[in-house]
Chains A and B, each alone.
Chain A
Amino acid sequence: MTNAVLTGLVLGGMYALIAMGLTLQYGVARIMNLSYGEFLIGAAFASYWLFTGWALNPLAGLAFVIPVSFGISYLLYRVLLTPLVRRARTRDALEVDSILATFGMMFIVQGIMLTMFGGAYFSYSFLAVPVTVVGEVLALNRLIAFGLAVVVGLALYLTLTRTRIGTSIRAVAVDPIAAQLVAIDVTRTSALAFALGGALVASAGVLISMFLTFSATSGVVFTMKALIVVVMGGVGNLLGCLVAGLALGLSEALVATFIDPGLTLAVNFALFLGVLLVKPAGIFGRAQR
């Protein structure tokens, strides 16, 4: 039981982290990024490559992967997505356009990874030493991944709530027209939020690669989980990401341990539908005015 809960918490922490990045891209920049999970896998491969090829510790690898993914996402928004933003008359139109564009991008990124690494599953052994937590044995890499997810999530929360730039990012999410009236460059701020989301998902990719196997085609699973968590928690709500992410991770681990590992996807959707039936706008979401 304790072991299932611990596993669930670690997994849930990862889901929450992944969802926070998506909620930034979707809630602020209004880009529904269907290639989101591909960037997670891309970061996982980068970490694998740095570790096996250059003997670089994945935690040190973060210092490389985070700025690079931030830069790539920023350029992606500026070069590929800004034309869509400019031609979209409404935010709803932008959502539809962005779904089509990023759906295409998903195949491109996936194709590149397939040609580079093939379709096999990859993993590497880093800090796979057992540690005892509340009487249960857990791999140290999972514990470290969880700890770092907490640190990154907290840093994001404090940035968004305590700094001027973070408050500007939230202002764009709330009302992009009014944001212009307080001298916010909405396109630049959206690009920033999109890039921040890209950096978050990349950091999650590195952390996850430390303890899970992955392949060039596993990105879509993470995109789907991130979507479920974001919608379940309430779009644009960080606390919602945390609560929904942990709920998803815990329910998966408990079902896999006590019923059947094959049922994790089913329990995902049962939880998802259950929440939306009771609260259509998500746990912390507010119905549209």
Chain B
Amino acid sequence: MLEVSNISVTYGQHHALSDAALHVERGEIIVILGANGAGKSSLLKAIAGLLPSPAKIVKLAGRDLSRLPPHEIVESGLALVPEGRGVFGELTVAENLLLGANPKRARAVEAAQRAKVMTLFPRLGERLAQTVRTMSGGEQQMVAIGRALMSNPDILLLDEPSLGLSPLLVRELFAALRKVRETGVGLLLVEQNARESLAIADRGYLIENGKITGSGIAAALQSDDAVRRAYLGGLASEAI
């Protein structure tokens, strides 16, 4: 469904990411694991067109999105929930969701999408008139994901959606993401929360110092010694 390659990002002299490549299929959950500063956010931003990456190749369902500006990438079915959420704090929940349905591809299915978002996050339905800035962190995260879903995406990119949420909310969020996957949307997830995210993921990629250093199905990564040491806090043998 989504195929990207040749993603490189530089900030001045600093190479944050070199030649990253990955793919996400319909209805898959893919997790990207990596330490702070490894280049995970840079990767998602480059795919979404927010950062320049001159040689990048991005294909969604066979269509070439490599040279498109960010707003046309959303039109083509790729939505990003950025690090720090990117919601419109001064606007209400209803207005944020309305804006989410801005792409032409979303207009025809707007009512149905809205109903889906309301079942996924019932709290949003109760708070439609609230200014987003006054909501709790977890609620704002729901607005951010709800807004992205309103665009009727084929692929949803999420940058650390569980950041700052209580363990209970994280579980609710991941259950919601699993439901999103069931509707055929492919999810590309950047997470610090390796244990929970590997539990719902199909496959994963490892990023170190701006390079993709490994990948595999989630179950294999969960039992991989190097992964356990780096992200799960201990070896398989020690865990017992």
Residues on A close to B: CB < 8 A? 164, 167-168, 170-171, 174-175, 177-178, 180-186
Contact = CB atoms under 8 A, between A and B. Distances in A.
A150 to B, nearest CB: 25
Contacts, number: 63
16 contacts: A164-B99, A167-B95, A170-B90, A170-B91, A174-B89, A175-B89, A178-B82, A180-B69, A180-B70, A180-B71, A180-B74, A181-B48, A181-B86, A185-B69, A185-B71, A186-B71
Interface residues of B, number: 27
B75 interface: yes
B71 A184 contact: yes
- By secondary structure, the A interface counts as helix
B53 to A, nearest CB: 16
B34 interface: no
Interface of B: 48-50, 69-72, 74-75, 79-80, 82, 86-91, 95, 98-100, 102-103, 147-148, 151
A175 B88 contact: yes
Contact of B99 (A168, A185, A186): A168
Contacts of B151: 182-183
A181 B79 contact: yes
Contacts of B91: 167, 170-171, 174
Contacts of B74: 180-183
Contacts of B99: 164, 167-168, 171, 182, 184
A137 B142 CA distance: 58
A237 B148 CA distance: 27
Contacts of A168: 99, 102
Nearest to A164: B98
Contact of B102 (A170, A177, A182): A182
B86 A178 contact: yes
A168 B72 CA distance: 15
What are the 6 A-B residue pairs with the smallest beta carbon separation, nearest first?
A180-B70, A178-B86, A183-B103, A183-B74, A182-B99, A183-B102
A164 B103 CA distance: 11
Nearest to A186: B71
Given A168-B99, A168-B102, A174-B89, A183 B50 contact: no
